[in-house]
Amino acid sequence: MWLDGLARQRLASGRLAALARQGRIAGVVSDPAFLARSLTRGPYYTGQLGDLAERGIPAERALKALAVHDIRWACDILRPVHEATAGVDGLVSVSLDPRLAHDSEATLAEARALWRAVDRRNAMLGIPATPAGLTALSACLAEGINVNATLVLSVARHGQVGEAYLEGLERARAAGRHLPALASVASFPVSRVDAAVDALLDREGTLEARAMRGATAVAAARQLHEQYERLLDEPRWHALAAHGARPQRLLWTATAASGPGLLPTHYAAPLLTRGTVTAVPEELLEEPDVVGAVPAGTAPDAAAYAAAGRLLGHLEWFGIDQGELALRLETEALKELNDAWHQLLDEVTLALDGASARR
């Protein structure tokens, strides 16, 4: 399990270090929305913001300075995990500027700059899996940059992500890079899928529609896992694995369940599976269905994959096209990320103004 949310409170209080030391989490994933909320809570950013304000640093550069500070700190805390797992875990994934999601060259330039600034082998950069993002993802891997392909919302897009990953590894190998040092995940935001599908099912209003509420996302995750296993059987992958390449693991994100009648662990518990990563908010670490579940996790079998396929096939009865839904969700998610980024810049601007006023 990885912790969902990177904030300086957890770094300064020792909470992240304790969770890692206890073996309860093996990585961190975060996004702009979480950092925006963290900036306004407590005094943890006050000193650095004051220094940045004193130097007249504009909001965009100040935001990057704040992020780099936290990423490096978190990477250093998780370095023992990274070393103990030979680079499999102990990773800290943070999102790039989502405004660049449709510009591969700008994304690559931003990734290079942030990677150099952080200067930690266990950092990982989150890039939305848009067509432009996939081009940037391959280029990043070719240059030795760890990548989290975010917003993978369909089996078809996951296939494209897998193709981009293989291409990136092949380019890295051709450049003489050490393949075991490269890490990548493909992130599926679980609850986001159910939220959208359930709204459509509620509109249908039948007993059959209501019976499917809260079931689509886990079934879709099963399909992605089935495809993941097929990718590991391809000769192209075996050629790379022979040179020490690691699989691009699936990362389940947005795993906190809040719908009516759903247990908090509705998504996290069934998706705890060997060979995958599950990102959970800190409160879920206390749930009995999650605590201690990882060692018992096993991959779904053929029957589970078949059942998932049948369930997803039923969506057609209600006029739900999975491909169209995935594209809509990607557009909506990118808009939310852009809004969160602008909110974050506004928070930083206000904090810098406040720090300047106190001088």
Give one DSSP letter per residue of 158-185, joined into a string. Answer: HHHHHHHHHHHHHHHHHTT--GGG--EE
- Render pLDDT for 159-193 as a digit per residue (tens, 0 to 9): 999 999 999 999 999 999 999 999 999 999 999 99
**pTM score, two decimals?**
0.93
342 or 123, which is more confident? 123
Question: Mean pLDDT across the stretch 144-163?
Answer: 97
What is the arithmetic mean of pLDDT over 325-329? 95
114-124 per-position pLDDT tens digit? 999 999 999 99
Which of these, 4, 16, 20, 80, lies nearest to 44 by C-alpha position? 16
Residue type, 24: R
State residue 154 phi and psi, 5-degree precision.
-155, 160
Q: Average pLDDT of 311-329?
A: 93
Q: Within 13 Å, how many C-alpha atoms sit on residue 92's CB side?
A: 28
With cut-offs at 50, 70 and 90, classify the pLDDT of residue 295: very low
> Range with the lowest mean pLDDT among 27-36, 205-214, 278-287, 313-322?
27-36
Burial class (CB in 10 A: 0-12, 13-18, 19+), 103: middle
Print the SS3 string covering 108-122.
Answer: HHHHHHHHHHHCCCC
Taking the C-alpha atoms of residue 182 and residue 119, their distance in angstroms, rounded to an integer, is 14
Mean pLDDT of the chain: 91
pLDDT in tens, 193-216: 999 999 999 998 899 998 899 999
* Per-residue pLDDT at 294 exceeds 50: no
The reported pLDDT for the residue numbered 222 is 95
Across residues 238-256, what is the average pLDDT? Answer: 96
Q: Is 147 a residue whose pLDDT tops 50?
A: yes
Contacts of 160 (CB under 8 A, 6+ apart): 129, 131, 134
Instruction: Calculate mean pLDDT across residues 22-43.
Output: 82
Check whether 341 has a pLDDT greater than 50: yes
Of 141, 136, 128, the residue nearest 170 (C-alpha): 141
pLDDT interval class at 296 (50, 70, 90): very low
Neighbours of 241 (CB within 10 A): 14
Q: Are 177 and 243 in contact, with CB atoms under 8 Å apart?
A: no
The predicted pLDDT at position 291 comes to: 53
Predicted pLDDT at 105: 98
Here the tokens at position 123 are: 């950092």
Q: How far apart are CA 285 and CA 262, in angstroms?
A: 17
Going by the DSSP 8-state scheme, the letter that residue 149 receives in this structure is: E
Q: Which of 228, 213, 196 is nearest to 322 (CA)?
A: 196
Q: For residue 104, what pLDDT is reported?
A: 97
CA angle 324/329/332 to nearest 5° reads 130
Residue 359 has pLDDT above 70, yes or no: no
Residue 262 has pLDDT above 70, yes or no: yes
290 band by pLDDT with thresholds 50, 70 and 90: low
Q: Which pLDDT does position 187 carry in this prediction?
A: 97
Tell whether the model's pLDDT for residue 297 goes beyond 60: no
Question: What's the pLDDT score for residue 257?
Answer: 86
- Considering only CA atoms, give the Rg of the chain: 20
Sequence-ordered strand ranges (E) for the chain: 2-4, 27-30, 91-95, 123-128, 147-150, 184-189, 249-253, 277-280
